Amino acid sequence: MRSTGTQWAAISAGALLASLLAAPAAHAVPGEAAAEPATRIDQKALDWRPCEDLEPVGGTSLECAAITVPLARTTGDERVDDLAGTVEIALSRAPATGTAEHTVLVNPGGPGSAGRMWAAHTHNRMPEELRRTHDVVAFDPRGMGASTPAVNCDPGFFAPVRRDTVPADAMAERALLADAEAYAAACAEDAGPLLDHMRTEDTAHDMDDIRIALGLEQIDYLGYSYGSYLGTVYASLYPRSVRALVLDSVVNPDNPWYESNLVQSRALDRSAGNFFDWVARHDDTYGLGADGKTVAGAYYDLRAELGEAPDRDTVGPTELEGAVIVVAYSGRTWPAVAGALAARINEDDPEPLLALHEAYGDDVDSDPGYGGYLAVQCTDALWPRDWDTWRSDAREVHRDAPFMGWHNIWYNAPCLFWEGEPDPWFQVGDGPYEHPAYDGDVLLVHATEDGATPVEGAHALRDRLSGSSLVVEEGGVTHGVALTGNTCVDEAVVSYLRTGVLPRRRSQGPDLTCDARPEPRPRTAQSAPRAPVDRLGPVGLETSR
């Protein structure tokens, strides 16, 4: 799955004294020997200070702190050979406006996304009744953002103009494959041993250290997109540490990352079709065609043209894809993307498209997020070890879903060469070799037309979490729904976080259906959006670089 993240500067909070304690034993996996307790560091007196590297958001200023945790989180693993190694996890907090009764830990998705700014975003989106009673804490996961050490690989990888993701011949394919191998090698050289300890399970253990550092018996958790998988793993490992669990834009628990990306490419294509149809409905504004097929044809013609002559030696076909993909993540981006395409196609004006690339596309600053993304995904699950399998799947998915079929393959291709050792997918359920699923109350939230995480994943997780209720935004096209302005959805989320009451679970989901918000209105202004979209985060919220 695609992601971009923002690398924030290191925070200045001083190092804290630490002592090693034994963690509660995790649930045993059927058929396997019980794992020994993992070690963790207990720091119950966090040194909260004003954040020197994070600007206030909407008037909300954040406090920052850090905790130190073991590099190796899972004992009984042959890779755990240095329990003295540590990493530092950077935290942020938006304090409750009244007396804090609960703390909600938030993760915006990714993987690869720095998360600390989301404490402010989430705080601002909460109604006052929750702001009074809830501290909001966010963190940069290990290896990302201001947490140290951080994964950095090769910023030059994103220098324009990049190779066309759709290889014209065998030579072009070999060149793209060589690029993927070189990037994986650069990550291994920079990150070293950290790459063996970047799995979702590692971060889940870090989350419980955060809970302990906060002095809490239980936490609330709000996780978007990849954060839904992180929350699923955390609740499986630490079921007694969870008070409330909100999982939004759900990752399908039955699809490890390689399979998930193939499914995602088809979903992204369907979402692009929704965008093309919307542009066609507003042909009087954009002039790109009166039906979705014609609009799609205009887009692919532009893509081919940029392959012959990139705009300003900056935007070629791959840069175009990297910017336009946001239409599959947020309907709010549709007017800006449509305006940029119309200006370029109808008026031969490249400026709005260049601005779109600057706002949404990959550049040298994308390297930490991309490296962090790969560091998690490449070791979170097993990947095919021969390129023939990848090529065969790429050709099939491109035939069915050309919008991002090959692009998504190359985005993940470094996993074929990854230095870190992969482990099997952390699957929850009651089957052989599965981890016990959390059986407490869970609120699942999903938009039915989400292109990044298809809605089938929410139904699959509902089936595995016996205490869950599923709220869907029927017809919703935005990735990340909770606390983004749909009154029906937000009321369910707020009620659950405040009282623990879920929508009544039915014999089959969804358990509550909310109407989607109105479609975006077309506009002729050609300015780029004000803020980039985190492609696996809650794009209903605004973020900033």
What are the catalytic residues? 225, 450, 479
Show the DSSP H helices in 192-256 as ranges. Answer: 200-213, 226-237
Q: Which residues, including other chains, have CB under 8 Å from residue 354's CB and lie 6 or more apart? A: 311, 312, 314, 315
Cα 303 to the center of its chain, rounded Å: 27
Distance (Å, whole) CA 332 – CA 520? 6
Burial class (CB in 10 A: 0-12, 13-18, 19+), 243: middle
Compute the distance between CA of residue 462 and CA of residue 179 in angstroms, rounded to an integer: 39
Q: Strands 86-94, 63-70: parallel, antiparallel or unpaired by DSSP?
A: antiparallel
**CA–CA–CA angle 365, 326, 145 (5° rounding):** 30
Tokens of 192: 């070293």
Orientation angle between helical segments 334-347 and 292-308, nearest 10 degrees: 60
**What letter would DSSP give residue 432?**
T
| Residue 432 buriedness (CB in 10 A; 0-12 / 13-18 / 19+) | exposed
Helix (H, G, I), strand (E, B) or coil at 174: helix
DSSP annotation of 429: S
Structure tokens that stand for 516 in this block: 């989607």
